[in-house]
Amino acid sequence: MVEASLVVSDADIAAAERAMADAPKPEVEEAAPPPQPLPAPQPEISPEEVQPTPQEMIPEPDTVDQEAVARLALEQEQAKEREEQEARVRQEQIDLTERERVADAERKQRLREQLEAVRKEREAAERKTKMEEQRLQQLADRQAAPRPQPEPAREPAQQAGGNNGVDTGLQARYVVAMNQTAKSNWNRALAPERVPCKVRFTQIPGGEVIDVSFLSCGFDVQARESVERALRRSPMPYAGFEPVFARQIDLTFCYPEEACQQ
């Protein structure tokens, strides 16, 4: 074990005291002031930003935008025109359908009227045919009835039965046959009712009518033409009636015949 000891001389002590005396004295610290209360917080106000340069003018719309607007307006106008055109087409179709319906109704009405006229004409022709048949039958019955024997003392002209030797029965049948032929060809729809029309026609052997003249006739032009067509349509009866043939014959057209005979 090592032991040590510090030996301080008087000179060392004196030097230490001188050093202490020469050293600067420490300053006394002043007391710190009491703490002050903190001020209330204030909102922070941002300074207004100053625009560094003036705002530029807003440029006009781009040409592309203008074309788009114009194209949209054109499309809208075209769509409107198409709608109007379609509406006109629909209305025209409706009008056409209505006109066709009216025309069809008128055609049907005219057809009914024509059929009714044909029916009436056929009925009248049938009635007339029956009457003519009855008359012919009456004439035939009269012809078939026994005749008185001619007196032996009479002249040959008197033995022919009178009327210049003409067979009155054959002549009566001839007149009836001509009436039946002419009036069966006659279109009564064009003639007024209960109005007589007396005509005289000229014929040649064979029965062909070559001339027609009106003696006293209350018919208009169309009704007269129908009478002339009836006379010229077919030859008049000739075969079997040669002995009583006459070049000029007078006939009276009137409808309905039953009423005209009253």
Pair (138, 174) in one structural domain: no
How confident is the model over 73-131, as pLDDT tens digits?
Answer: 999 999 999 999 999 999 999 999 999 999 999 999 998 998 889 888 888 888 878 77
Q: Is residue 21, in this structure, part of any structural domain at all?
A: no
Residue-averaged pLDDT of the chain:
78
Q: Is residue 148, in this structure, part of any structural domain at all?
A: no
Using 50, 70 and 90 to split pLDDT, how confident is the model at 156?
Answer: very low
* C-alpha separations of 30 from 36, 37, 83 in Å: 18, 21, 102
**Residue 62: per-residue pLDDT:** 63
Q: State the amino acid at position 208 in one-letter form.
A: E
Mean pLDDT of 27-32: 56
Vertex 72: Cα angle to 69 and 73 (nearest 5): 85
Mean pLDDT of 21-27: 65
- Contact yes or no for 237/178 (Cβ under 8 A): yes
Q: Is residue 161, in this structure, part of any structural domain at all?
A: no
Pair (176, 217) in one structural domain: yes
Mean pLDDT of 22-34: 60
Pair (126, 184) in one structural domain: no
Q: Single out the residue in 123, 142, 161 at which a domain terminates.
A: 142
Using 50, 70 and 90 to split pLDDT, how confident is the model at 60?
Answer: low
- Total domains, the chain: 2
Distance CA 242, CA 174 (A): 10
Mean pLDDT of 150-176: 58
Q: Return the SS3 of 242.
A: helix
Q: Is residue 131, in this structure, part of any structural domain at all?
A: yes
Pair (100, 179) in one structural domain: no
Using 50, 70 and 90 to split pLDDT, how confident is the model at 155?
Answer: very low
CATH number at residue 248: 3.30.1150.10
- Contact yes or no for 198/182 (Cβ under 8 A): no
Cβ atoms within 10 Å, residue 229: 14
Pair (136, 217) in one structural domain: no
- Which residue is listed with tokens 């209305």? 91
Pair (254, 176) in one structural domain: yes
Q: Which domain holds residue 78?
A: 67-142
Q: Give the predicted TM-score (pTM) of the model.
A: 0.38
Q: Return the SS3 of 214.
A: strand
* C-alpha separations of 177 from 21, 156, 255 in Å: 195, 29, 18
Residue 213 has pLDDT above 80, yes or no: yes
Is the model more confident about 21 or about 100?
100
Q: Is residue 154, in this structure, part of any structural domain at all?
A: no
Pair (187, 105) in one structural domain: no
